[in-house]
Amino acid sequence: MANKVKIHAYPKSQRERILCDQYKERLLAAKIRLREIPVWLMRTDYGWELYVAAFRADRGLSKKNWYETDLCILREELELLPPGALKQDLERMYADNLQFFKEYWVNEG
């Protein structure tokens, strides 16, 4: 049997990438929700990818209440982030997804 390398043996950024990829796969397969991902991982350099995956899964499944919850999580995170490029990117993502939500689901009924 081959020796398995434990995740903690990798450098920090590589560990974060591995975990992020695992969570993205589970989000896209609708096995988990955004709120089930550890907050510390959402605040890494790869956190924005998790938001993208979550919104993509919500749209694909047409889950209005999931989408709305994920928008609230993103809005709360934006309030905690210091100014910078990541905050600007996430603010743009929030605005785009909020617009989609309003056009697709709010105006639907």
Nearest of 46, 44, 42 to residue 32 by alpha carbon: 42
Mean pLDDT, contiguous 10-residue spans, the chain (109 residues): 62 90 93 92 89 90 88 92 87 93 75
In one letter, which amino acid is 9?
A
pLDDT computed for residue 37 by the predictor: 93
**Does the global pTM surpass 0.85?**
no
Q: Which of 65, 49, 57, 59 is nearest to 31 (CA)?
A: 57
Burial of 68 (C-beta count, 10 Å sphere; 0-12/13-18/19+): middle
The domain locations on the chain are 11-106
CB 16 within 8 A of CB 57: no
**Radius of gyration of the chain measured on its C-alpha atoms:** 16
